[in-house]
Structure 1
Amino acid sequence: MASETTHLQEEDVAHIVWAAHILAYLTKGRSHAQAEQSGDAAASDADSETDTEAAFDDETDTATEKAAALSSSRDSVQRKFLDCICQLLSPCKGWDGVTAAALREEEGGVIVDVARNGGVDSDPAILEYCRMLENYLACCASAKEPSSTATSITDFETASINYTSSRVDYWIAACRKAYTGSHVDTDWDSKVWPGRESAVQTWIIMAALLLHCDSERMDSNTRSCLVQQAYRCVRETEVQQLLLDALGPKSGLRLWVCLGFVARPLTDCRLLREIALWKPELRHAQVSLVPSAPKTTLGRRFVVDIVTAWERLGLGIATKPVIDLLDPYKERFKQACAEPFSLHAEMQLISHYEECRGPGRMLDYIGCSKKSCLLCEIFLAALKNPIETRGRHGVCYPAWGVPCSNSEAIHLATNRLKDNLVTRIRGFSKELIQPGATAALPNVMQSGIVSDFSGPTLEDWRQRQKDVDTAKAEQNTIRTKLLVTEGRVSDVQTRIDPRRDFEPDDCCVMCNKSPARRCGRCRSIHYCSKDCQASDFPSHKLLCKKFATQPGRPSPEHKRAIFFPVHKAKPVLVWIPTKRQYDKESGERWTEALVHPYLGPDSPITGRLRVEHNEVRGRNLGSGFVAWAPRKEGYCVHLLHRDAYLVDGSLPNQSILASVRASSAASCPHAYHGPMVAIREIHPEDYADIELADFRHLMDYFVTYGSTEVRESVPDLQYRASTVIRGVKICCDGEIKLHGAKPFVSIDIKQSTRLTLLAREGISISPISALLGMPLIFWKDPNAEFHDDPPGWDATLSASSNENAAFMMRDTNPSDSSWGWASLHWNHDLGNVWAVREDEQDLDVREVAMMCYFARHKLPRMFADTMISEGGRMQDRQRVLSFITRENMRAYWEDTGGDEAVRNHEV
């Protein structure tokens, strides 16, 4: 039995090796020999594209590295931690230097297991380097913030520059080449660049170092100076814009990317320190080098010719077209399959964890100094518990060692990998032999199980499968339409403030993308895709046909408008007469829209509402339609209505409500009563025909104006509109106990919601948060359901009780009689509370949890003592205020296990 198992595994390994080589040939992939070439010039062909892409997609912007470390989720921070470790332990470019790492939590602490493509030996030098890294992290136990400048560097930072010298020297040479080939006679005199003197001085020093260094014989001192100066450049964001302006976008961007890679050792070190400072469990992480795994070598009976391998993979009989396709590779295939293959670093870690199972928990993420190859990507995704990496480059490296193990998980993933590769081969070969044809099913012997099915049984199975596929397709369609309607597609192009260049009229009305095509019927609106058109169709169809068949214009003075009657279920297209007016006293001219017949027989005073910006789409229509606007450009959608429609007895407008419902909204947050007319207003003081794109903008306005709705935040990888900021909902007792909510929940708050809350409640800044250096605005949730205790509520405090918010609102004015107390408004009937940063930056859940934990558990006794003391009250209160600092808050959180308390809902 054992021999059968061994044979089965060896057969599986052979299938992977055969399939990987064939797929690499068909896709023109690089061979292992090319990837292993010693010269970085040769390796750059394999790596330059990946590195450049990584510079945009995978590298942390050094200007925001601190924010990234502090604001991300726990897992996201740990992932960045692993990626930085890998980059610091990757000594060179090319295949041999690729390093991977995984995090393992044990009772004694955190272990970082490290593997490398070329193997990690037990050389004393690398062991000493790893110990220096551990000490570097341990030094972050102090609450003192690490320096963010490059004026002085630590021993480990110097060691990291020397350890990665091969990689650093490569990018210094690339940096020098990019600069000398583009700067020509650029004048770097600070007088030529007013306002950028600091950036010019920083770059002049870097340029001098580049021009005078010898990249072929680089000494350690020169290399260190170059890395430190490159770090200063990438930290000073004005340098980037200086290079783009001085050298041009293409050359400037190439040079900026190279600078980032030169600075990377120091960037990674500083980011590690920041992460370790913020995440205490990582300060005492220990680095464990994973022993090299045995190489994959095929037995002699599995070293076959390429045609035999094709047929044994189940790809069918090798016909003449197939033989002709494979013929160029037949000589090297057999020789290549006979070579031993090393395991990629990711696979070494997988084998290590499967062979050495223990109580430690492995993060479902493997950090890596490069993106994963196609085979690693497929294998990791095929595991029972899929593992993610920093990204993939999709190249099939044929020399891929297969992790051989008796583990059921590895055996299953290997089979899935083989099936995936065979499917890809079938598709590529079919396309190469018959371009445009679909891949045929493999020509294999029919299974006895399938043969026993009757015809009706197979038909039933096919029909059930078809029903399932149809249901999934419908669900995806509905989800896509909803996301597009709500303006949440991932590639929407947005703007926040009015600009001189507005989106062109021919861009997509749903996502602002160009080019877009007109609606085939009305020719009055543009869509970039069928998804966008389908999502808008329920509301667009209300007017599309009417627009196409509307009678001609009665006169040049008539302008097309949309009339929203009170009692009808649909809006109507009408021609509104306009009249040019002149004021003799002021000498001003303007155009009046004669809408009184539509607003009622009593000739009411006309109210006006102008829509210049679509918040849902992040799209600017115009500017200057209010008296105080600095510029007058573009256009706006002008809604004319009865000025007193909310108090003159006007009935709810049914056509507006029907239009909003067609736009996937249940109702309007604001009440619209009486008849209304929408027309396009242009400068100067004139009107134009309304377009059906304006109808979409108007519907988006109706569903957002006056809205106090918030949504729980989605992961950062998903799109968020540019006018949305991330806040935190501090949940009341009722929300936590009845709905099982966490005490603190991340929420997205739209700009219109913030404006509505400001108008209704004003601004209430938490005094405690202000002392902690991050002023937070608190608003009570207007839609809370816990103002009255629900039936069966038997807790001591009411369902609307929210001690976390109340303690944050304590008065901190030492001379005030209400010192240490929250006002009545913030001490009674709170319900859920929304918190946002005063500076409108995103707010992290953990930050709020830490503040509330500190205010609720540490400060009450200190406040109470100062309330009852007889003498020295002011001095005692000042002492309390001096204690309320971020350092003390963070220390209290760590000393008392704040993270665990939040997880257990003890906050």
Structure 2
Amino acid sequence: MLEESGPNIRKSEYGGISGGPVFTLAGDPFVPNFDVDDSVSFRIISAALHIDTHLLLHEMSASLKIASHSHDERIARIMWAAHILFYLTKTQSHNKQPQDTKNNAGCDDGDTDESSDNETDYETERTVILSSPRASIREKFLDCIAQLLSPCKGWDGVTATAIREGEDGVEVDVASNDEFLSREGRYCTRLERYLAGCNEGTTGVTATSPERFERKAINFAGRRVDHWIKDLRTVLEHHPLPQSSPGREVASTWTMFRDLILQPHPDQSVTKYRVLMVQQAYECVNTPELRQTLSDIFGGQTAAKLWNKLNFLARPLADCRLLALIATREPHLRQCKIVRIASQPKTTLDPKYVIGIFTAWEQLGLGSPPKCVIQKLDHFNGKFEKACAEAYSLHAEMQLVLHYEERRAPPPTLDYFGCSKKTCLLCETVLDALPNQVSTRGRHGVCYRAWGVPDSTADTIQLAVQRLESSLIGRIKGFLDDLVRPRQKGQAVNTVQSGLLSDLSRSTLEELQKREKDLQSFKYKQDAHRNELMIREGIAPRTTPRPRPVDNFEPEDCCVMCHTIPGRLCKRCRSTYYCSRDCQRSDYASHKHLCRQLSTEPSRPSPEHKRAIFFPVDEDQPRLIWVPCRRQCDDDDLRPWTEVDHHPYLGPDSPRKGTMRIEHNPVRSRNLGSGFAAWAPHKQGHCISVLHREAYLIDGSPTNRSISACVRASCTSIPAHEYRGSMIALREIHHEDYVDITLADLRHMMDYLVSYRNTHIRESVPDLHHHANTTVRGVKICCYGEVNLHGSDAFVGVNVTRSNRIALGKGSISPISVCLGMPIRFWKDYDGEFTRDPAGWKENMTADSNPNAAFMMVETDPSRESWGWASLDWNSDIGNVWAVREDGRDLSVDDVAMMCCFARRKMQRMFEDVMESGSKLEDRRRVVELITWDNMAAYWEEVGGNARDNWDDMV
């Protein structure tokens, strides 16, 4: 009797489209080690497992066809499958290990630099490497050589290395994705001499005196170095250095680098400039304190980007120094001969295998593609045929494999390939299928379609290629299965019986599958909609909320929705930056009003005309217009100013113009500018100037329909203020001048308008741990009517925005909360429905009674005559009350409930006892001294307040 988990039979990693399990006998998981002549034995196994023999034999025979393909056809099938899998999954990682799924965004274009390689400083890395086992040191030795022999970023710069050790030294075989050039032979000779000269007397070389080879290495990687110099310069230009006071040595190191990278350099000194930049970057990454300093200056996200880019820029010099240290410790590695292996022939398909994508789909045994797959692959059909007709070079790792498997050189002595990048999915599968599995520095797990297939008669290569074909087809089936029948994360897979083999009818199964698919689709749409609403409200879980000074401005190229840097311009209008499709989708309802207009707008009539957004009063759509902005000069003091010709947009009656300037986006905590008032001492940034009819609230102007439509489309809140009459929005810069407005300004304007005078406060979501930077968690203390009529809890968590606090006004600080060490500001909800008792009200207390809030407002100053009493304003007509911590931190519902219970049930009795006994000053002070957090917490525990079920009896 054989068990499913036994050693002779196991379940394949990938099931079929039907969702049933696919069983294979011992051997390859995709190519069953099964002889059809042994069908009797197979039926015995099937009977033991209660499996339909005929169906399973059909599935097994389909798998057996894999082994019957010719060699040329198998190569074609691999190329078909690789392209199809890439089209379906793009840069998605197929690795199981979470640590290998990072940094895959650039895999399609050949981006070979991995930020995860530089998580530590080089000083730490040297210490760790040189104290590691002998094999680890050789692996790092190979990686350093591979990186030093990689001249540029991208596919054609990838190199791989392998080591072969002998009695007198080592040989390092080097393969490249592209062919080696003649100059690379001279460079390899210089590298050999550099290693030979590494001994105890040369390890003290400093970054300020690079050796001759180190300068050659820097300029050999010139294209890579130039890329990172340009990249760093762009980041620093968009992030000017704020005022800071780091240590003198740290400040000097960073200032020197910054000044060097930001200054222009003549073309004739480009090689010298590269060397200076790399050695200065090396100094920076070898100053551990600098990383924390950058974080303090620029913030964590920008500092992390700068640090990674500094590591990449310093890499040529760092690799040279690390090689020297390794060779110093391991004298055997100094006698190193670098052997460049000849490039293998490219993979080219026979013309009969250059077919359409859906023909290839069927020939791969995938059946008829479902509608969702047709939609995904249809627009790739033309690209697929062209791709099949192209010739593809072997990746460097595969060239090394062929070099050894075809016995062109003795095998390496270490089962490890050094590489200048992480290994792709196809190379990874082949390396794992070899008799001696070969390791590499890391695997990104992305299916890279431009991949030449190793062509060899060696049995090991044939078997590895066969398993690669099976793996790719299996992954396509697995993707298709998840696409057709999505399964929730963590849901168990059926391990015994296929759905098609169960007692349920096919129609029942199809109905269940359709329902599951509909449910998953609904949940996906629901989550996507919820995410869009969160982003519109300034709640971005991807970003970390951070307090920022008023004069801190986000750069223009950051995401307009969540401030992530860098953003990407909208492809159509080229006027707004987004970091992701989620952010772009959340802004689209508002952005679409003008995006197409901007991409097709007419030419500027004259240099004086500036682009503006016109909000007509009687239309549902805003419009882009050119507004004349003429520079004028005052006759008295000769000061220049700009005259904006707003006629006839604000009305045919030429009304007086009013101006509303927007310098801050309160929803996203983004400062646009400051100092646009005439008396302001500092002027910077820009603002959005909204021109309107000065008397629009009293001159009979109707509600502006276009603004109402934009606000409804862009925000989830209802504006508290009514905007009337036509309006014009311009982008104003300092010195009373104007420039063309952008569609990012439209988002900032809509956020401002919806938050202006907005006292609408919403309840917080209990399981949502992110909220907007300008939002704090507060508590609504509900009045008697709210609790009895609506069944509300006595205390409800709410989100209070910065604009809410401004609109609510001054409010009042609770004296009890001050004594407890947590000052809380209270506001009455004047918009509530309980300003008077509703019809049919028969309770003892009025609907607006709120004793919890009233007792928190009791006077605690013993010297005042009103001690023990709440003010008249807090003795009647209270209603619901908003409570927010004065220090700007989130306020817990539990803390407010505990405070109110303590003030109302414990302290109020003490206040009454003292007032009834003559209210002496000493007695008052003694009572106030009892108002402490420890006493409150002890009373809360005594009455069982930690259990929320008891709250109704206490408060």
The two structures have a TM-score, normalised by structure 1, of 0.52
**2:945 corresponds to:** 898
**Residue 609 (structure 1) aligned to one of 647, 651, 660:** 660
* Alignment check: 8 A CA contact 2:776 2:801 kept: yes
**1:537 corresponds to:** 588
Q: Aligned equivalents of 2:564 and 2:595: distance in 1?
A: 21
Deviation readout 1:581-608 (Å, 9 max, x if unpaired):
2223333211121214222233333221
Report the CA distance between 1:692 and its aligned residue. 1.2
Q: Aligned equivalents of 1:632 and 1:577: distance in 2?
A: 24
Q: 4+ residue stretches of structure 1 with deviation over 6 A? A: 7-12, 25-30, 194-197, 243-246, 251-254, 321-324, 429-432, 441-446
1:866 aligns with 2:914: yes
> After the TM superposition, which residues 220-619 of structure 1 pair with which residues of structure 2 at under 5 Å, given as runs?
247-250=288-291, 328=435, 433-434=471-472, 437-440=475-478, 447=498, 450=501, 456-492=507-543, 497=548, 502-619=553-670
Q: Aligned equivalents of 1:818 and 1:743: distance in 2?
A: 27
**Residue 927 (structure 2) aligned to one of 841, 865, 880:** 880
* Alignment check: 8 A CA contact 2:430 2:468 kept: no
* Alignment check: 8 A CA contact 2:862 2:921 kept: yes
Q: Aligned equivalents of 1:459 and 1:560: distance in 2?
A: 57
Q: Aligned equivalents of 1:435 and 1:511: distance in 2?
A: 40
Q: In the superposition, relative to structure 1, how do residues 625 and 902 fare at CA in structure 2: closer, same or farther (>3 Å)?
A: farther
Q: Aligned equivalents of 2:562 and 2:527: distance in 1?
A: 18
* Alignment check: 8 A CA contact 2:850 2:880 kept: yes
Higher mean displacement: 523-532 or 568-577: 523-532
1:710 aligns with 2:758: no
**1:822 corresponds to:** 870
1:797 aligns with 2:845: yes
Report the CA distance between 1:615 and its aligned residue. 2.1
Q: In the superposition, relative to structure 1, how do residues 27 and 839 fare at CA in structure 2: closer, same or farther (>3 Å)?
A: closer
Q: Aligned equivalents of 2:850 and 2:872: distance in 1?
A: 13
**Residue 669 (structure 1) aligned to one of 691, 707, 720:** 720
**2:895 corresponds to:** 847
* Alignment check: 8 A CA contact 2:817 2:824 kept: yes
1:813 aligns with 2:861: yes
Q: In the superposition, relative to structure 1, how do residues 478 and 447 fare at CA in structure 2: closer, same or farther (>3 Å)?
A: closer
Report the CA distance between 1:886 and its aligned residue. 2.4
Q: Aligned equivalents of 2:473 and 2:500: distance in 1?
A: 35
Q: Percent identity?
A: 50
Q: Aligned equivalents of 2:533 and 2:291: distance in 1?
A: 38
Question: In structure 1, what residue type is equivalent to 2:893?
Answer: V
Report the CA distance between 1:777 and its aligned residue. 0.8
Question: In structure 2, what residue type is equivalent to 1:805?
Answer: A
Higher mean displacement: 521-530 or 570-579: 521-530
Report the CA distance between 1:630 and its aligned residue. 4.1
**Residue 746 (structure 2) aligned to one of 677, 684, 695:** 695
* Alignment check: 8 A CA contact 2:717 2:754 kept: no
The two structures have a TM-score, normalised by structure 2, of 0.50
Q: In the superposition, relative to structure 1, how do residues 548 and 731 fare at CA in structure 2: closer, same or farther (>3 Å)?
A: same
Q: In the superposition, relative to structure 1, how do residues 737 and 459 fare at CA in structure 2: closer, same or farther (>3 Å)?
A: same
**1:399 corresponds to:** none
Report the CA distance between 1:884 and its aligned residue. 2.1
**1:767 corresponds to:** 815
Deviation readout 1:485-538 (Å, 9 max, x if unpaired):
222121247676566663332332222223333223222222222222222222
Question: In structure 2, what residue type is equivalent to 1:847?
Answer: D
Deviation readout 1:243-279 (Å, 9 max, x if unpaired):
999843348899xxxxxxxxxxxxxxxxxxxxxxxxx
Report the CA distance between 1:626 and its aligned residue. 2.4
* Alignment check: 8 A CA contact 1:607 1:642 kept: yes
> After the TM superposition, which residues 609-758 of structure 1 pair with which residues of structure 2 at under 5 Å, given as runs?
609-665=660-716, 667-715=718-766, 718-758=769-809
Report the CA distance between 1:856 and its aligned residue. 0.2
Q: Aligned equivalents of 2:847 and 2:469: distance in 1?
A: 65
Q: In the superposition, relative to structure 1, how do residues 448 and 720 fare at CA in structure 2: closer, same or farther (>3 Å)?
A: closer
* Alignment check: 8 A CA contact 1:493 1:513 kept: no
Deviation readout 1:4-42 (Å, 9 max, x if unpaired):
9xx999979x989x99xx99x996899xxxxxxxxxxxx
Q: Aligned equivalents of 1:500 and 1:453: distance in 2?
A: 67
**2:126 corresponds to:** none
Report the CA distance between 1:754 and its aligned residue. 0.5
Q: Aligned equivalents of 1:448 and 1:566: distance in 2?
A: 61
* Alignment check: 8 A CA contact 1:743 1:902 kept: no
Question: In structure 2, what residue type is equivalent to 1:885?
Answer: T
Higher mean displacement: 814-823 or 609-618: 814-823
Deviation readout 1:437-486 (Å, 9 max, x if unpaired):
42547999975964766665555444444433332332233222222222
Q: In the superposition, relative to structure 1, how do residues 504 and 677 fare at CA in structure 2: closer, same or farther (>3 Å)?
A: same
Question: In structure 1, what residue type is equivalent to 2:591?
Answer: H
SS at structure 2 position matched to 1:542: helix
Q: Aligned equivalents of 1:602 and 1:750: distance in 2?
A: 39
SS at structure 2 position matched to 1:434: helix
Larger radius of gyration: 2
Deviation readout 1:292-325 (Å, 9 max, x if unpaired):
xxxxxxxxxxxxxxxxxxxxxxxxxxxxx99995
Q: In the superposition, relative to structure 1, how do residues 558 and 734 fare at CA in structure 2: closer, same or farther (>3 Å)?
A: same
* Alignment check: 8 A CA contact 1:599 1:642 kept: yes
SS at structure 1 position matched to 2:909: helix
Question: In structure 2, what residue type is equivalent to 1:905?
Answer: D
* Alignment check: 8 A CA contact 1:507 1:527 kept: yes
Question: In structure 1, what residue type is equivalent to 2:828?
Answer: K
* Alignment check: 8 A CA contact 1:613 1:621 kept: yes
| Coordinate RMSD, CA, aligned | 4.7
Question: In structure 2, what residue type is equivalent to 1:876?
Answer: D
* Alignment check: 8 A CA contact 1:657 1:667 kept: no
Q: Aligned equivalents of 1:676 and 1:645: distance in 2?
A: 10
Q: Aligned equivalents of 2:494 and 2:879: distance in 1?
A: 66
Q: Aligned equivalents of 1:607 and 1:250: distance in 2?
A: 49
Q: In the superposition, relative to structure 1, how do residues 245 and 852 fare at CA in structure 2: closer, same or farther (>3 Å)?
A: farther
SS at structure 2 position matched to 1:777: strand
SS at structure 2 position matched to 1:898: coil
* Alignment check: 8 A CA contact 1:430 1:439 kept: no
Report the CA distance between 1:663 and its aligned residue. 1.5
Q: In the superposition, relative to structure 1, how do residues 451 and 746 fare at CA in structure 2: closer, same or farther (>3 Å)?
A: closer
Deviation readout 1:820-860 (Å, 9 max, x if unpaired):
22122211121221111222222222222222111101122
Report the CA distance between 1:861 and its aligned residue. 2.0
**2:189 corresponds to:** none
* Alignment check: 8 A CA contact 2:945 2:951 kept: no
Report the CA distance between 1:670 and its aligned residue. 1.0
